[in-house]
């Protein structure tokens, strides 16, 4: 595998007495798609928030390209080339598409005045590149007027603007139509082809299985399994494994039900 | 943008054909329609103002064609504008600042002390600005880093600061008789061609602030923070710092406003600024800035301030007794809010 982009070592996070993460090791290399799966409450969201710098870990080490970093923050994470598309998409819905794409990273010239025309041109280019264009909206459209898929497009456009090394997609296909899901998948493959990495978090294990090179299963704040694509035969294997972890004794009839659900 | 910065991605599904992919089209192709849509809040406020003035002029044409009426409004209006405009930023940030009257009093007190001690009024203005900045920072830090409700905390600070002024001065005012000969007075408080010079400074302040709001990183971050503070934080914006800056801006505006009001009257009163609390707040909301944060309009707020200033003068000049002033104040506020409610959609 190529260069190591980010590595988490023995990351713990507690909220008061409750441990959300109890010592997680996770790394992402250049050009790979890592699928992160786990049940509700497994600690996926906490892990993402730590990677994106929104939440600070209670203990543990974060290494960017094998160098330990101090003072990890959201701004530091973005500087390190990590972009996150949050599950709630983190959009300001009363603002324009342009303002959302350049949120926290405004294109400014002299004394902090905005380069308005440049922002509009860049926003148009980004939205075109990922194929989320339409005759109905413009870079000046208010995000609140857009559909769920179009909003996801804005969030992704924001993430790819600065040649990010690693893009974290938190449940990107939730509540999307089939064509919109296909667009997201296509986008993931393009990013991998361009030599960058993706951490793909999904509820739908079939989606994750289709797209990821490596799987990390999180269970109750710990990594329960790390497996390469070649080691896992099918999505059902992953589902069975997750259920075995969740209910070590096994529950009668659970596997069949899970397969139907998925 | 250099070539190296561009991600070498292809369009998903592998095509770029079709007119939609080439360039986004504006839904409102006519420039006038786009302009009206983009500025509908401030245009609505302007419409309210024009209708109100039309009613006044029809009621008493002779008084409303004399320049004196406008001259007196143009003298006092700038004082309000210097606080209305920063308050648009505060309300956009989803906060409120009720401490600006006391900041006006405090900063202008410092100005009065410096001038009374025989120093140049320019030095007094500088001292007032520093005082306003510090008080804004104090109030902002208390609200933001103390995690207090800005509604209650700034109300408390207003009483506290005003109380300090009253305790030290024991209700005594300060007359500044030597102010009239100074260069600062000529620049900030005299008349040009019969027009009070304050209004030019106020217009410059409004234009600068409107650009700051719409075309500067500060304004962009204020809007995003007010719209969705969680997203702003996730995108690396220091939400707390942006909020503190907004309170500092109000402190600076209040310091200018207080100094201007002292210059008009040549006298500083311990109650300086007190009467501005409710008219200024009303102006912000009459101007079309909604209470929920994220959006607002500086120009609309300024037009709102003009509207509110003309109500009092207009009601009396139109021949009604002074008892009607409050009724018309309330009427204009309610009608404006109803208009904006119909005019603006709230996106979630």
What pLDDT does residue A134 have? Answer: 66
Question: What residue spans define the domains of chain B?
Answer: 43-340
The residues in B 234-263 lying below 8 A from A, measured between CB atoms, are 234-238
CA–CA min distance B307, chain A (Å): 27
Contact residues on chain B for A187, CB-CB shorter than 8 A: 12
How close is the nearest chain B Cα to the Cα of A91, in Å?
6
Where along chain A do its domains lie?
A: 1-81+170-262, 90-162
Query: Which SS3 state, helix, strand or coil, does residue B14 take?
Result: helix
Best of B35, B41, B211, B236 to disrupt the A interface by mutation (most A CBs within 10 Å)?
B236
Question: Do the Cβ atoms of A112 and B228 come within 8 Å?
Answer: no
Contact A52 B234 (CB under 8 A): yes
* Between A259 and A82, residue with greater pLDDT: A82
Half-sphere exposure of B216 (CA within 13 A, CB side): 14
| pLDDT single digits (tens) B129-173 | 999 999 999 999 999 999 999 999 999 999 999 999 999 998 888
- Rounding to the nearest 10 degrees, give the CA dihedral for residues B184, B190, B195, B198: 40
CA distance A127 to A124: 5
Alpha carbons A161 and A106: distance in angstroms, whole number: 12
> Which residues share a beta bridge with A82?
A166
Q: What is the pLDDT of residue B41?
A: 83
DSSP state of B15: -
Question: What does the DSSP assignment read for B272-322?
Answer: TTGGGHHHHHHHHHHTT--TTSS---HHHHHHHHHHHHHHHHHHHHTT--G
Q: Which long-range contacts (CB under 8 A, 24 or more apart) does A119-122 make?
A: A122/A161, A122/B1
For range A127-147, the mean pLDDT: 77
Contact between B347 and B290 (Cβ < 8 Å): no
Of residues A79 and A252, the one with the higher pLDDT is: A79
Give the homologous superfamily in CATH for domain A1-81+170-262.
P-loop containing nucleotide triphosphate hydrolases (3.40.50.300)
Please report the pLDDT score of residue B9 as a whole number: 37
**For A148-157, A222-231, A248-257, B181-190, which range has the lowest pLDDT when averaged over its residues?**
A248-257
Q: Which residues 200-239 of B have a C-beta within 8 angstroms of A?
A: 211, 215-218, 220-221, 223-224, 227-228, 230-238
Q: What is the CA radius of gyration of chain B?
A: 23
Does the model's ipTM exceed the 0.90 cut?
A: no
Cβ pair A122:B294 closer than 8 A: no
Strand order in A59-64's β-sheet?
A18-29, A4-15, A59-64, A67-68
pLDDT category, A261, cuts 50, 70, 90?
A: very low
**Long-range contacts of the stretch B62-67 (C-beta < 8 A, 24+):** B63/B317, B63/B318, B63/B319, B64/B314, B64/B317, B64/B318, B67/B194
What is the rounded distance in angstroms from the CA atom of residue B136 to the CA atom of residue B247? 5
For residues A172, A178, A183, A185, the Cα torsion angle rounded to the nearest 10 degrees is 60
The pTM assigned to this predicted structure is 0.84
Q: What does the block give as tokens for A20?
A: 């959300």
More confident residue, B270 or A202: B270
Quick one: which of B223, B200, B222, B220 has its CA closest to B81? Answer: B200
Taking 50 as the pLDDT cut, the residues of chain B under it are 1-23, 25
Interval A84-111 mean pLDDT: 88
- Name the burial class of residue A59, with classes exposed (0-12), middle (13-18) and buried (19+) by CB atoms within 10 angstroms of its CB: exposed
Instruction: Supply the pLDDT for residue A250.
Output: 56
Contact B254, B103 (CB under 8 A): yes
**Upper half-sphere CA count for residue A58 (Cβ side, 13 Å):** 14
Number of Cα atoms under 13 Å in the Cβ half of residue A30:
12
**According to the CATH classification, is domain B43-340 in 3.30.310?**
no
User: What pLDDT, in 10s, does the model give residues B297-336?
Assistant: 999 999 999 999 888 888 888 777 878 888 888 988 898 8
Which residues does A138 contact at the CB level (< 8 Å), separation at least 6?
Answer: A97, B24, B25, B26, B27
Beta-carbon contacts of residue B209 (< 8 Å; ≥ 6 apart): B85, B86, B88, B89, B298
Gap from B180 CA to chain A (nearest CA, Å)? 37
A81 interaction partners in chain B (CB closer than 8 Å)? none
Token look-up 């304004």 returns B219
Phi, psi of A220 (to 5 degrees): 45, 50
List, in sequence order, every beta strand (DSSP E) within chain B.
174-175, 191-192, 195-196, 267-268
B301: left (phi over 0), alpha (psi -120 to 50) or beta: alpha
Closest residue to A190, CB basis, from B10, B237, B346: B10
Residue A257 has pLDDT above 50, yes or no: no
CA distance to A72, A95, A159, per residue, from A63 (Å): 10, 35, 21
Of A100, A78, A235, the residue nearest A168 (C-alpha): A78
| Tokens at B22, concatenated | 């080439």
Q: How many CB atoms lie within 10 A of CB B69?
A: 17
The rounded distance, in Å, linking the Cα atoms of B173 and B163 is 15
Q: Backbone phi, then psi, for A138, in 5-degree steps? A: -130, 175
Nearest to B233 among A54, A95, A106 (CB): A54
Asked if B216 lies within 8 A of A112 by C-beta distance, the reply is yes
Q: Is B191 helix (H, G, I), strand (E, B) or coil?
A: strand
């Amino acid at each position: 595998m190529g260069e190591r982009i980010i590595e988490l070592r023995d990351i713990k996070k507690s909220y008061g007495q409750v441990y959300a993460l109890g010592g997680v090791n996770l790394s992402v290399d250049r050009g790979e798609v890592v699928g992160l799966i786990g049940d509700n409450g497994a600690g996926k969201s906490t892990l993402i928030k730590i990677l994106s710098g929104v939440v600070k870990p209670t203990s543990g080490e974060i290494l960017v390209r094998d160098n330990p970093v101090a003072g990890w923050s959201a701004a530091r994470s973005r500087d390190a080339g990590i972009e996150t598309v949050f599950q709630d998409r983190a959009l300001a819905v009363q603002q324009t598409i342009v303002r959302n794409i350049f949120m926290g990273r405004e294109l400014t010239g002299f004394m902090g005045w905005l380069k308005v025309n440049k922002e509009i041109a860049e926003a148009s280019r980004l939205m075109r590149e990922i194929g989320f264009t339409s005759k109905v909206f413009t870079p000046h459209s208010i995000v609140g007027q857009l559909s769920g898929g179009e909003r996801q497009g804005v969030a992704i456009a924001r993430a790819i603007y600065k040649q990010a090394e690693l893009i974290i997609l938190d449940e990107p296909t939730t509540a999307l139509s089939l064509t919109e899901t296909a667009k997201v998948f296509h986008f993931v493959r393009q990013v991998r082809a361009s030599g960058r990495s993706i951490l793909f978090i999904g509820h739908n294990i079939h989606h994750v299985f289709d797209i990821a090179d490596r799987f990390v299963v999180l269970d109750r704040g710990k990594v329960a399994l790390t497996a390469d694509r070649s080691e896992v035969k099918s999505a059902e294997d992953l589902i069975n494994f997750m259920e075995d972890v969740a209910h070590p004794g096994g529950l009668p009839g659970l596997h069949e039900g899970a397969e139907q659900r998925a | 943008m250099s070539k190296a910065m561009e991600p070498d991605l292809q369009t998903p599904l592998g095509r770029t054909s079709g007119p939609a992919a080439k360039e986004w089209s504006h839904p409102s192709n006519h420039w006038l329609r786009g302009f009206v849509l983009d500025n509908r809040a401030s245009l609505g406020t302007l419409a309210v103002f024009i209708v109100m003035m039309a009613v006044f002029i029809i009621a008493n044409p002779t008084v409303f064609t004399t320049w004196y009426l406008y001259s007196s409004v143009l003298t006092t209006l700038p004082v309000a504008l210097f606080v209305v405009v920063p308050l648009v930023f505060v309300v956009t940030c989803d906060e409120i600042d009720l401490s600006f009257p006391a900041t006006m009093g405090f900063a202008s007190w410092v100005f009065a002390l410096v001038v009374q001690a025989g120093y140049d009024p320019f030095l007094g203005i500088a001292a007032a600005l520093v005082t306003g900045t510090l008080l804004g920072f104090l109030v902002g830090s208390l609200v933001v880093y103390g995690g207090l409700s800005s509604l209650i905390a700034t109300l408390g600070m207003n009483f506290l600061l005003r109380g300090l002024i009253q305790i030290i001065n024991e209700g005594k005012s300060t007359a500044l008789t030597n102010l009239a000969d100074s260069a600062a007075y000529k620049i900030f408080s005299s008349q040009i061609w019969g027009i009070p010079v304050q209004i030019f400074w106020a217009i410059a302040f409004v234009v600068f602030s409107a650009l700051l709001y719409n075309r500067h990183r500060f304004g962009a971050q204020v809007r995003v923070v007010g719209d969705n503070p969680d997203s702003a934080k996730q995108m690396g914006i220091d939400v707390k710092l942006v909020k503190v800056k907004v309170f500092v801006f109000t402190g600076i505006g209040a310091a200018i406003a207080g100094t201007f009001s002292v210059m008009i009257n040549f006298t500083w009163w311990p109650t300086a600024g007190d009467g501005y609390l409710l008219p200024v707040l009303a102006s912000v909301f009459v101007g079309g800035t909604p209470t929920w944060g994220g959006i607002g309009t500086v120009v609309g707020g300024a037009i709102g301030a003009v509207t509110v200033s003309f109500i009092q003068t207009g009601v009396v000049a139109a021949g009604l007794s002074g008892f009607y002033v409050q009724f018309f104040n309330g009427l204009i506020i309610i009608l404006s809010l109803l208009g904006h409610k119909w005019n603006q959609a709230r996106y979630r």
